[in-house]
Amino acid sequence: MNLDEVLHTFLAEARDLLEQMEEALLQLENESEDDEAINALFRAAHTIKGSAGLFQLDEIVAFTHVAENVLDRVRDGHQALVPDLIKLLFEVRDHLGVMIDGVAAGQELAAADSDRTQTLIDALTAYQSDRAEFDIGGPEPVERQPEAQQGGDGNTGVVSAHWHISVRFGPDLLVHGMDPLSFIRYLGTLGRLVHVVTLTDALPAPAQFDPERCYLGFELAFDSEADRDTIEGVFEFVRDDSRLFLLPPHAPLSDYAALLQAAADADEALGPLLLACGSLSEEELTALSAPAIPTTKESNMPQSLAEPAQAQTPVQRPDAKAKGAQRNESQPGAGTFIRVDAQKLDQLINLVGELIIAGANTELIAQKSGDDELAEATSNLSQLVEQVRDSALTLRMVPIGATFNRFQRVVRDVGKELGKEIELIIAGADTELDKTVVEKIGDPLTHLVRNAMDHGIESAELRRERGKPARGRLKLDAYHDSGNIVIEVSDDGGGLDRDRILAKALERGLVKEDQSLTDKEVYQLIFEPGFSTAAQVSNLSGRGVGMDVVARNIQALRGTVELDSEPGRGATVRIRLPLTLAIIDGFMVSLSGAVYVIPQDLVVECIELTQRTQERDYLNLRGEVLPYIRLRELFEVEGELPERENVVVVQYNGQKAGLVVDALLGEFQTVIKPLGKVFSRAGGIGGFTILGNGNVALILEVPGLVRQVVERAGGAQGNRQTGSVQHS
């Protein structure tokens, strides 16, 4: 059993639960009486506490225990979920995140964090006036005097005033990374263990002993003020594989009779153990004696315990089912899901890439050999490799909705800081893209969202003056377009001030006085390093840091960013990104023998250029003016021109352009490899790949080429004559 892996799993699940807590709190901020959100919040805190207890993370356990008590009062209707409490619970959630990050980093809780823990505990205790207060060391058990009482069915109640817990752990407990004693230790944080009987009857002979198999069971006398759900929650992670019975203080004798009968059916001598725990007196056991109850301890771990009376049903809590339903409500068949280390997926993609290169080499050798059977076999192999490639890439595709949902909290916090009421609208949450892209797009989106809230959306007073609703709207949207994913951040604010941006650019020398710029070109200036139009520096803006970072990060993902704005109506930032950064379908072309690759999903068609005219850089494509660029000239390729040139028509962001090449070589599965730093600023090149023969082919950066072609041809199309073309 690798404890590091188990701890890693705990940390991953804890972070997921923190996200659930945040989502529930955001929901409750809008609708404080949402029972489902309240239960989700309670379950998340409860599960974090239970998991932390298994790893003896006492600070987290004690802190979460106090928060859980408050949430339990909210759930029971004893405490209203007032705004101040919601604000406090947000702080609790954030502090839990700090504590869990500290565990991940292997750090002890700093003194400042400990002080913060106690401050939050003190604030929480104000909302549990009828509960005992706890310090960071955890709850102190409360001694109670035994007292007899009548059971609901007329039976005399048990003299002892403690809980009785009967548990038989499943055989695979150790294999699943659990420690039986950790459950007992965690119970000790909820109260006092009056008596513990460890059962080892199920231990086999040494020759048959399996060190990975659990043979233990326990009979426990437990004194605590915790309620039934809290005690059952200690065993939440093993409830499916273990046998658990829980009898409350002063349980009627009929409940014990049912438990004894169930043990007798399993050939287990439970009577002496109840005496040892002090849960039954000799007189009470004698009164309950029946022929079915064994008097010796010659027993094995029971395969099944029959269900005692209603009060002692095995642990199958409705909350647990609701939790599972909540966790998987958007994932049909989620029971078959497994957690896989992202590095393993990356390694798989790398191996698939090498397989593609090796397959291309094999296919090339087969073609040269002239062996038809070998050529057919390699063709079939290539098809299978392509299917493996698609399946492997699918494993790394994740919905962007989880990334979008994180901005609910950002919008809430920034809106309060700015004094603005802003609604976040999320669309396209199911749109999938490569996990690597998802991981790296978070920071750019954060800059854009904060910038839209600060600069874009006006104050409530100004919005009313302009005839707008006082509540601003910010929208995050994602969709697929031409083999790319498009992410839009739009707002209904005042839009970009073109004149102000241009004046600032002139002041900084970014443009010249006599330079004519389109609106889009002016808007793009805000992505220049250090550019800012903010009147004063604040916590959110004014330092000229952010938008240039956005542009750099998106370019590093082989993407582009552009701005649209309508004065008084709002602005939209549009990000275009490739679906994957690893493997694509490519279309190979050549220039003087050198091979280049164009992403195939951007290729519209191929045509023959039949008239060479150096002065012209456009042609007539079925009545449509198509600007083009000669890649020979762009890349300064030497060598004689071929008798026949071809134009590859590409389309990006709704704009078409032509790329003139020497020859068309056909489709090719392309493994994208990044250029080194020396070539990172090479214009028109987005990476390279290795061909089957071992040669290197450069991958064309189509978005940049299309922009270059369109800008070169801008405004002059109507004054030019068209060249004739013929379809190949």
| Separation CA 628–CA 617 (nearest Å) | 5
Specify whether 570 is located in the same domain as 592. no
Task: Judge whether 382 lies within some domain.
Answer: yes
**Could you give the 3-state DSSP secondary structure of residue 692?**
coil
Question: Which pLDDT does position 538 carry in this prediction?
Answer: 52
Q: How open is the CA angle 112-115-120, to the nearest 5 degrees?
A: 125
Question: Which pLDDT does position 426 carry in this prediction?
Answer: 93
Specify whether 510 is located in the same domain as 531. yes
First to last CA, the chain: 64
Question: Which pLDDT does position 337 carry in this prediction?
Answer: 66
Please report, for the domain that includes residue 458, its CATH number: 3.30.565.10
Specify whether 565 is located in the same domain as 713. no
Please report, for the domain that includes residue 640, its CATH number: 2.40.50.180
Question: Which pLDDT does position 612 carry in this prediction?
Answer: 55
- 501 burial level (CB within 10 Å; 0-12, 13-18, 19+): buried
User: Could you tell me which residues are beta bridge partners of residue 650?
Assistant: 603, 657
Question: Which pLDDT does position 490 carry in this prediction?
Answer: 94
Task: Judge whether 153 lies within some domain.
Answer: no
Q: How open is the CA angle 120-123-125, to the nearest 5 degrees?
A: 110
Half-sphere exposure of 343 (CA within 13 A, CB side): 0
Question: Which pLDDT does position 648 carry in this prediction?
Answer: 94
Specify whether 559 is located in the same domain as 677. no
Using the 3D structure, point to which of 578, 605, 620 is the last residue of a domain.
Answer: 578
- Provide DSSP, 528-547: STT----SS--SSSSSS-SH
Question: Which pLDDT does position 353 carry in this prediction?
Answer: 85
Task: Judge whether 568 lies within some domain.
Answer: yes
The continuous run of DSSP H or E covering 713 comes out as: helix 702-713
Specify whether 194 is located in the same domain as 123. no
Specify whether 231 is located in the same domain as 134. no
Closest to 18 measured CA to CA, from 112, 120, 100, 108: 100
pLDDT averaged per 10 residues, the chain (length 728): 67 88 90 86 86 81 88 85 91 92 81 84 80 38 38 48 89 78 83 86 85 88 88 81 87 83 76 85 76 38 34 38 40 55 83 86 86 89 87 85 88 90 92 85 89 90 91 93 86 89 85 82 81 56 60 81 89 87 85 91 87 66 88 87 90 85 88 75 80 86 82 54 39
Using the 3D structure, point to which of 324, 357, 379 is the last residue of a domain.
Answer: 324
Instruction: Count the Cβ atoms, other than its own, within 10 Å of residue 676.
Output: 8
Task: Judge whether 420 lies within some domain.
Answer: no
Number of domains the chain contains: 5
Question: Which pLDDT does position 658 carry in this prediction?
Answer: 92
Angstrom CA distances, 240 to 169, 171, 172, 225, 305, stand at: 10, 12, 11, 26, 14
Specify whether 121 is located in the same domain as 195. no
Specify whether 192 is located in the same domain as 293. yes
Task: Judge whether 146 lies within some domain.
Answer: no
Task: Judge whether 115 lies within some domain.
Answer: yes
Specify whether 95 is located in the same domain as 240. no
DSSP designation for 459: P
- Domain extent for 182: 163-324
8 A C-beta contact, residue 725 and residue 647: yes
Task: Judge whether 52 lies within some domain.
Answer: yes
Please report, for the domain that includes residue 36, its CATH number: 1.20.120.160
| Separation CA 608–CA 421 (nearest Å) | 58
Specify whether 650 is located in the same domain as 687. yes
Instruction: Count the Cβ atoms, other than its own, within 10 Å of residue 394.
Output: 9
**Could you give the 3-state DSSP secondary structure of residue 515?**
coil
| Separation CA 382–CA 692 (nearest Å) | 12
Phi, psi angle pair for 77, to nearest 5°: 85, 10
Closest to 692 measured CA to CA, from 442, 463, 354: 354
8 A C-beta contact, residue 400 and residue 487: yes
Specify whether 566 is located in the same domain as 633. no
Specify whether 170 is located in the same domain as 304. yes
Question: Which pLDDT does position 547 carry in this prediction?
Answer: 79
Task: Judge whether 409 lies within some domain.
Answer: no
Residues acting as catalytic residues:
46, 68, 451
